Structure 1
Amino acid sequence: MNTVYLNGRYMAAEEARISPFDRGFLFGDSVYEVIPYFQGRGFRLQEHIARLEHSLRAVRIPNGRDWVAILDQLVELNGGGNLSVYLQVTRGDSGSRSHAYDAGLEPTIFACCTPVRDFASLPVAEVKGLAAIVTADLRWHRCDIKSTCLLPNILVLQQARDQQADEALLLRDGVVTEGTSSNIFVVRQGVIYTPKRSSEILGGITRELVLELADENGIQYQETDIDYEALTTGDEVWISSSTRGVLPVTSIDGQAVGNGEKGPLWARMFELLTRYQRKLMTGSK
């Protein structure tokens, strides 16, 4: 059974209902998280919860739930294994359509699961290089808040797909920010470069893990502004996300990145990341 969580209850997905006056439905007045569970265990779960709580504080939606208990039970009810858990918290149902809201609204909390492939199970040789395009970043300036207002992301990802590409990389005022659902890394002469943390990008959980692993393994990195030329002339380009790990980008705007093949530093980071994931999930080395 596909079990979901809604406002304190676990139920079959087809039984879940929300009010048409819920502010998440009317205004996108809500935040969310996507958390991978591998072998039934949350991957970097506390880091995801911390980011959720940052988003809730930023938009002034009340917090205070035991998120770990809610999600762990939902995963168990859906059979455990490898699942992507989607958690959305809206400001709640105001009973009418009005931009203004009362501070006492009870948030609507919804969570569901989707099967996901364990990226650590994929041999490095089988990872596909991605094609990407670069397009304007037309989103608001609080991208550090994981808001459900994702229409700009949806439109540019569809633009990429229309051009037979896998991802759209976003450019704001001449500076690369991130992908539609990923963070960006550029490698030049053995050094990893990634955009600086700011309100213009979402602080990716896997992004932070990549930098931790680089630091632990003597790989140099810099958080810095990256312009279009630096992006397209790098030796390697990667993207990262919680459910996909770290993936190589082998072409941008129809032009090869480096030699057009998956790069050696990406392969090393992929191995470091998968080893970390296996050890964390199973205790193996």
Structure 2
Amino acid sequence: MSVYPIIMTQEKFTHRENLKYPYEERGLQFGDGVYEVIRIYKGSYYLLKEHVDRLFRSAEAIKIKLLFTKEELTDLLLELLEKNNMKNDGKVYLQVSRGSAPRDHVFPVNVPANIYAYIQDLSRNLEALENGVSTITHRDIRWENCYIKSLNLLPNVLAKQEAKEQGSYEAVLHKDGFVTECSAANVYMVKDGKIYTHPVANNILNGCVRMRIETFTEDLNIPFNEEGFSVEDIALSDEMFLSSSTSEITPIIKVDNSQIGNGEPGKITRLLQEAYKKDANIAISETVHSERIS
């Protein structure tokens, strides 16, 4: 995927070829920063407010002082779409680090945070959404504060790579026998018409799509239980699915050697997929409408 030419930085906007950060950059040397990935449909953001809110929560959790308000960042991200004439399906990668300073574990004093954001085209993975995916299980070896969307992703990377090497889409992480989430997504089990997923806690990321799914279940009158389920429960599940900004709501049809249900995406998963598509279309319409009014 090629990167669009205009990139947002603390100097607002620059061409990607002009982006030159010092080698002593805390995001590079310590993973000392946070990030967000925001979905774009037909040139409009989906769940923009939720992502901006979470970026601020993550930054606050690791004591990074942002030099802009939520409203200012939102305006910059909207301007980024305009400057790139973005009209396609895609994503924005947005990153904030503690800044550039001589390497020292202690926070630097009076050093501004570094920020940049860039756009890439990203088509919907229709094959995975329609037919479902296989996954593997993998021990969760991440730190205890996964609610912070930090740059420290090496355990996630290793788990995702292991899944790929085994011909699977994702790794279902587990700790002490209980499923937490995937390497880059939240994960859910359906049993007897009820959805089960790990409770919101410090050791998982409360996904923006996950939060939306909970509202979908309320509208559809589907029980949504924030209760952990075990690795052993997987083989007994009727359906499973995962969710993220880039994966949307993707059915899981196999975990390790266990077929899930009848090996096809289930009824509840399909209902949630339809709710997602409807919600994304509404969000796009409302965004376009509000921009026209302003």
The 3 A distance-change label for structure 1 pair 187 and 126 is closer
Q: Which residue is 1:198 aligned to?
A: 201
Counterpart contact for 2:129–2:249, Cα < 8 Å = no
Counterpart contact for 1:31–1:89, Cα < 8 Å = yes
Alignment partners' CA distance in 2, 1:173 and 1:226: 11
Q: What amino acid is the match of 2:92? A: V
Q: Which residue is 1:89 aligned to?
A: 96
Q: Deviations over 1:9-56 (max 9, x none)?
A: 312212211111111011110100011122222211111111001000
Q: SS in structure 1 opposite 2:173?
A: strand
CA RMSD of aligned residues (A): 1.7
Q: Which residue is 2:188 aligned to?
A: 185
1:13-52 mapped onto 2 (5 Å cutoff): 13-52=16-55
Alignment partners' CA distance in 2, 1:264 and 1:125: 16
The 3 A distance-change label for structure 1 pair 25 and 125 is closer
In the superposition, the TM-score normalised over structure 1's length comes to 0.94
Alignment partners' CA distance in 2, 1:46 and 1:212: 16
Q: CA deviation at 1:64?
A: 4.2
Q: CA deviation at 1:83?
A: 2.3
Q: Which residue is 1:56 aligned to?
A: 59
Counterpart contact for 2:195–2:223, Cα < 8 Å = yes
Q: SS in structure 1 opposite 2:131?
A: coil
1:6-155 mapped onto 2 (5 Å cutoff): 6-65=9-68, 66-81=72-87, 82-94=89-101, 96-118=102-124, 127-155=130-158
Counterpart contact for 1:132–1:165, Cα < 8 Å = yes
Q: SS in structure 2 opposite 1:158?
A: helix
Q: Which residue is 1:279 aligned to?
A: 282
1:144-183 mapped onto 2 (5 Å cutoff): 144-183=147-186
Unaligned stretches of 5+ in structure 1? Answer: none
Counterpart contact for 1:75–1:83, Cα < 8 Å = no
Alignment partners' CA distance in 2, 1:244 and 1:175: 23
The answer to which of 137-146 and 37-46 deviates more is: 37-46
Q: CA deviation at 1:63?
A: 2.0
Q: Which residue is 1:207 aligned to?
A: 210
Unaligned stretches of 5+ in structure 2? Answer: 289-294
Residue from 241, 254, 257 that aligns with 2:257: 254
Q: CA deviation at 1:57?
A: 0.4
Counterpart contact for 1:153–1:180, Cα < 8 Å = yes
Alignment partners' CA distance in 1, 2:243 and 2:130: 13
Alignment partners' CA distance in 2, 1:262 and 1:157: 22
Residue from 263, 267, 272 that aligns with 1:269: 272
Q: SS in structure 2 opposite 1:33?
A: strand
Q: Which residue is 2:292 aligned to?
A: none
Q: Using the aligned pairs only, state the percent identity.
A: 32
Counterpart contact for 2:129–2:250, Cα < 8 Å = no
Alignment partners' CA distance in 1, 2:160 and 2:246: 17
Misfit runs of 4+, over 3 Å: none
Q: Which residue is 2:291 aligned to?
A: none
In the superposition, the TM-score normalised over structure 2's length comes to 0.91
